[in-house]
Structure 1
Amino acid sequence: MCAAVIALAGTRITRIVDQLADRTGIGEAAAGAVLLGASTSLGGSVLSVTAAWNGHAELAVSNALGGIAVQTFFLAVADMVYRRANLEHAAASVPNMMQNGLLICLLSLILFAPYLPEYTIAGVHPVTPVMLGVYIYGIYLVRGANESPMWRPSITRDTREDEPDDVTVMPTLLRLSVEFLMLMAVLGVAGWTLEPAATVIAAKTNLTQTVVGVMLTAISTSIPELVTSIAAVRRGALTLAVGGIIGGNAFDTLFTAASDIAYRQGSIYHAMPEDSKFWAVLTLLMSGVLMMGLIRRERHGIGQIGMESVVIMVLYLLGVVLLLAGG
């Protein structure tokens, strides 16, 4: 039921974010990174923080990292929906590349933290405020890249640039903002309710919390990213579709930082099991492949999708097989 609520609210919020991007003039890439990415990820963030507060570090971290992996996989699915050309080619955007670089930096910090001393200040590891600072500064750079890019991608006949809709026929900014906040609240409550259900499932089925986090909660809370990316592609908002996924992934790394604050038994990075570290490494690899795809901008590949999409799908499915085989 929570997954269904998240899917419905996430679907509705896409159109609102697209209109907010045009109303405020911040652009689809920035709106996808900040508004769409953060709002559709709210259910997952609340679940991870709740799990950490209750002492379930494995579920908190695996939900965050599993969500990033499956959302990157969803981007490949959206590429399959857009048949005219490779989605990464058509949605060429400097801010999207900047967001992906930010994601790689944040994932690297998560992997770096366990190798540092298990030292905390008021129960918070020093890497946590560093991650928050890097994210804020990264979003500042993304916005700067959108307003004053130092270089631009080559425009081809398959490239779809961000073209704002007519704001005169849209709802007012106040109405859009109120609807946006209401839907965010719905997503947050659904994520909070989902955590105890996931914990009980893990206990009753004897599955590890990593399996439950990656295969159940991460997918459930990431349904909005799948629905919104496909909806954005069908609306022709290609930059928003790609920016929403990549921006949401960068925001999702903060699940781990927020979970470290909520986790009272010490550093959550040092409580990460090896399975969670594996998903962090796998997600880092998938993000690197995506970055190369954004730079190369292949028009067509295998099955009318980009080669990076094929590699990302194979990597994710391989990770799922290895996880189930070991869990």
Structure 2
Amino acid sequence: MLNPDSWTLFEGLAAFTLCALVIAIAGTRITRIVDQLADRTGIGEAAAGAVLLGGTTSIGGSVLSVTAAWNGNAELAMSNALGGIAVQTFFLAVADMVYRRANLEHAAASVPNMMQNALLIMLLAVILMTPLLPNVTVWGVHPATPMLFIVYIYGIHLVHGAHHAPMWAPTKTRETRQDEPDDISRMPSMVKLTSEFLVLFFVLGVAGYMLEPAATTIAANTGLTQTIVGVMLTAISTSIPELVTSVAAVRRGALTLAVGGIIGGNAFDTLFTAASDIAYRDGSIYHTMTNGTLFWVSLTLLMSAVLMIGLIRREREGPGRIGLESVLITVLYLGGAWLLLS
């Protein structure tokens, strides 16, 4: 059982289930910590959701993609990274269903969240375009990889600036929930919060590392393609924290954190592809993308554009007491999953 290369299908499924459970539990606990860190540091819920919550809950998927790329499983690495963005966008629609007072995108109006979503669209466009560029590498790394890191870092800088010095603000309504800090005096110390945050970060990373051999075993023993395993199994399992944390944040009333955690995590997840390209030693990993993976990138780009319209339009209430964008995102994701499996 200790040697992943000799795992049977049952052992692979057992390891996969255990890792997914660990990711779900650790991801749930970290929501409260990030919410409190946002108040203690003063960076705001949107920025905390993007950098702390989004990055931390995504660490399991990041480790999985890098490990898969290092082991030569390029298809699994890319499908896991990009499939995770799609399912997490769908999870935002689920969080909208949980929040019954109004459309979540209306209540959690935030300029930083809109900027994060625009950043996500830019990063996805770069990834989609790269396979059409010349297949050249420098020390085994495609030029698009450093470009993704540069765009992401500069984009986060702009998001941070939009929080502290916004040039315009969304119209306030009675359903709008503002980013208001909790009572810091009742929170644990900064040292305790940081320590627990780092421990959970490590746990999520180890669980993500162990998911890769489990997923490879499942693919090898079931005949499923690595694209299907990456999009429908590993991407969903490593994205469980985003579902749990977004619902938990909504129930805590931290609506901006819930939306920022999903969108910020999605932007961070695009860096999985950049990190995977560095780990992949057989050339540009972007040029190994199959038609199925390229379709999933295009679908995710479309879902993100629909979300952007919802964030700007701010419909108070749509079909089934959720936003119309949530309905469209749900239809797009479920339709894409059906096409992938058919």
TM-score (norm 2): 0.95
Pairing 1:150–2:177 present: no
Residue 2 of structure 1 is matched in structure 2 by 19
**Aligned pair partner of 1:230 in 228, 247, 256:** 247
Whole-Å separation in 1 of the counterparts to 2:121 and 2:327: 20
**5 Å matches for 1:1-327?**
1-325=18-342
Deviation at 1:136, TM superposition (A): 0.1
Whole-Å separation in 1 of the counterparts to 2:161 and 2:41: 16
Q: Which runs of 5+ in 2 are unaligned?
A: 1-17
Whole-Å separation in 2 of the counterparts to 1:173 and 1:115: 47
SS, match of residue 199 in structure 1: helix
Whole-Å separation in 2 of the counterparts to 1:101 and 1:182: 32
The residue identity in structure 2 corresponding to 1:263 is Y
Whole-Å separation in 2 of the counterparts to 1:178 and 1:276: 38
1:59-115 per-residue CA deviation (whole Å, 9 max, x = no partner) reads 000001110000000000000000000000000000000000000000000011111
Whole-Å separation in 2 of the counterparts to 1:227 and 1:137: 29
Whole-Å separation in 2 of the counterparts to 1:146 and 1:61: 32
The residue identity in structure 2 corresponding to 1:66 is G
Deviation at 1:274, TM superposition (A): 0.7
The residue identity in structure 1 corresponding to 2:272 is F
RMSD of aligned Cα (Å)? 0.3
How many percent identity over aligned positions?
Answer: 77
Whole-Å separation in 1 of the counterparts to 2:141 and 2:189: 42
Q: Which of structure 1's runs of 4+ aligned residues deviate more than 2 A?
A: none
Matched residue count: 325
